[in-house]
């Protein structure tokens, strides 16, 4: 309920700030000015909420009072303010250019928003905790327990982790006052005595979750060691995704062609910069793994020096990769090197959103080292994706395993709303030059 609550609070504060500004400026003509300002300000309020979403101000994992949160909130207000100013002065459709009004509105809202968000974060972090018991002592449950401790704003407080074989200790923990949630590791389900113990505790109105479900709910990723083939059969049924996939393909064709055509504007500038920076071809064709393991030719602007891998073969790109030229580094940070992939999308080899298309050289290693790695190819690879916006560029088998957790979450939960959120946050990554 945190996201809907925060959205409601922000809407109330936006309109409340507008009313406060009008009341201060127009004592005797409040209603007339309200009619004039309501529609244009409602439009920019939508933009403000989108900006807030893009900078993760509705992500529960970021809702903690501190430098990171306040810097994000300040950044969002500055960007939204610039957009608002541009809206009124570059699109004078509504016939108003509210210099003083807009400045006063922004000041009022900034004060209310910082105060309101600080109060909300403080309440979320310190009040109304759901006491949580984790059953099963293993790497995944300890990782989950650490995540709960590091993120008190999520609303859970860890009671303890109990080994599934410690039945007497478990029965004692079940008597803990205000116990709200029990997370059960897969190994605990195999013990009949534990199952009976939980069954007898149903009258205490405790919420029971499997480790995979609860882990996914809190972290936005799927724990690889807590799932098996049954999990895929239960959660990745593709029959109910047919309508979504059909409409998504239509959207890929339309928007891929539109964005691909618009991106042609950048081609001459990118090509000229590349020619001035280094010799070599402009476009780089690379074999990648696509849906169902089929290979395709991915198109992108060249970012590395010529023959960068002629002696070493395929390598993951480390930080400050010496093989990447100056222009290439800028193209990667802004993701401009990937805009030719819009034509891969139009051809049906990729989608706007999906897992990253991996190189065959890495795929052969990863499918042997990472469990369920090939399941990420159930859908088309994407220009951007849930893993790409939540985890930095992968440069090892360990990184690939972490990104797979996000990929599986996306495959299970993919929807138009999730796709839209990923696209919006990808735009922020490009504008802030946070790519690699």
* Dihedral of alpha carbons 108, 111, 115, 121, sign: positive
In terms of C-beta distances under 8 Å and separation of at least 24 residues, what long-range contacts does 313-316 make, across chains too?
Answer: 313/361, 314/359, 314/361, 314/362, 316/362, 316/394, 316/395, 316/396
Statement: residue 253 has pLDDT above 80 = yes
pLDDT band at 317 (very low <50, low <70, confident <90, very high): low
Both tokens of 153, joined, read 């704003």
The pLDDT of residue 34: 85
> What is the Cα–Cα distance from 224 to 47, expressed in whole angstroms?
38
Could you state, in order of their start, the residue ranges of all structural domains in the chain?
Answer: 2-126, 130-219, 239-431
Model pLDDT for residues 135-176, shown as the tens digit of each residue: 988 889 999 999 999 888 888 999 999 988 888 888 888 888
* pLDDT, tens digit, 9 for 90 and up, residues 107-141: 999 999 999 999 988 887 777 788 999 998 888 99
CB 381 within 8 A of CB 288: yes
- How far, in Å, are 113, 177, 244, 357 from residue 72 at the CA level? 12, 38, 33, 31
Is residue 236's pLDDT more than 60? Answer: yes
Which residue reads 């159930």 in tokens?
378
Q: Encode pLDDT of 378-434 as tens digits.
A: 999 999 999 998 887 766 888 889 999 999 999 999 999 999 999 988 888 777 655
Q: What is the DSSP letter of 8?
A: H
Supply the pLDDT for residue 385. 93
Closest to 365 (Cα-Cα) out of 308, 291, 313: 313
> Where residue 31 falls among pLDDT bands split at 50, 70, 90?
confident
Q: How many other CB atoms sit within 10 Å of the CB of residue 287?
A: 13
- The DSSP letter of residue 90 is H
- Residues 194/141, Cβ–Cβ less than 8 Å: no
How much is the mean pLDDT over the chain?
Answer: 87
Q: What pLDDT score was predicted for residue 320?
A: 67
- HEC profile of 276-302: HHCCCCCEEEEEEECHHHCEEEEEEEC
Dihedral (CA of 73, 74, 75, 81) sign: positive
User: What does the pLDDT average to over 73-100?
Assistant: 82
Residue 143's SS3 state is: helix
Q: Report residue 98 as tokens.
A: 């509210």
- Please check whether the domain covering 130-219 is classified as CATH 3.40.50.2300: yes
Q: How many CB atoms lie within 10 A of CB 285?
A: 11
Question: Is residue 11 scored above 90 in pLDDT?
Answer: yes
Tell me, yes or no, if the pTM score tops 0.85. no
């Amino acid at each position: 309920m945190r996201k809907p609550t925060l959205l409601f609070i922000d809407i109330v504060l936006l309109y409340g700030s507008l009313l406060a500004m009008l009341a201060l400026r127009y004592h005797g003509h409040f209603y007339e000015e309200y009619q004039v300002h309501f529609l244009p300000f409602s439009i920019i309020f939508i933009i403000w909420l989108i900006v807030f979403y893009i900078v993760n101000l509705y992500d529960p994992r970021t809702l903690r009072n501190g430098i990171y949160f306040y810097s994000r909130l300040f950044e969002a207000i500055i960007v939204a303010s610039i957009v608002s100013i541009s809206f009124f002065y570059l699109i004078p459709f509504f016939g108003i250019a509210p210099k003083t009004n807009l400045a006063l509105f922004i000041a009022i809202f900034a004060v209310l928003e910082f105060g309101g968000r600080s109060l909300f974060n403080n309440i979320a972090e310190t009040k109304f905790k759901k006491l949580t018991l984790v059953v099963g002592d293993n790497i995944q449950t300890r990782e989950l327990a650490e995540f709960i401790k590091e993120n008190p704003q999520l609303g859970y407080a860890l009671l303890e982790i109990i080994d599934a074989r410690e039945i007497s200790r478990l029965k004692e923990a079940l008597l803990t006052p205000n116990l709200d949630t029990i997370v059960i590791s897969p190994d605990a389900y195999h013990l009949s005595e534990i199952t009976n113990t939980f069954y007898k505790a149903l009258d205490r109105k405790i919420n029971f979750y499997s480790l995979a479900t609860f882990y996914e709910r809190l972290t936005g990723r799927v724990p690889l060691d807590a799932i098996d083939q049954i999990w895929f059969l239960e959660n990745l049924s593709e029959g109910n995704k047919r309508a979504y996939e059909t409409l998504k393909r239509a959207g890929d064709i339309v928007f891929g062609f539109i964005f691909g055509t618009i991106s042609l504007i950048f081609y001459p500038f990118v090509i000229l910069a590349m020619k001035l920076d280094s010799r070599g071809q402009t476009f780089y064709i690379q074999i990648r793994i696509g849906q169902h393991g089929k290979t395709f030719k991915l198109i992108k602007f060249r970012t590395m020096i010529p023959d960068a891998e002629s002696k070493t073969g395929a390598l993951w790109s480390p930080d400050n990769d010496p093989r990447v030229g100056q222009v290439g580094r800028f193209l990667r940070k802004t993701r401009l090197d990937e805009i030719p992939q819009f034509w891969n999308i139009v051809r049906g080899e990729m989608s706007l959103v999906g897992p990253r298309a991996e190189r065959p050289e890495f795929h052969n290693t990863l499918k042997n080292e990472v469990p369920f790695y090939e399941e990420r190819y159930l859908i088309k690879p994407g220009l951007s994706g849930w893993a790409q916006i939540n985890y930095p560029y992968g440069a090892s088998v360990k990184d690939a395993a972490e990104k797979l957790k996000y990929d599986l979450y996306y495959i299970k939960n993919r929807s138009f709303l999730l796709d839209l959120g990923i696209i919006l946050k990808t735009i922020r990554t490009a504008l802030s030059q946070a790519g690699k």
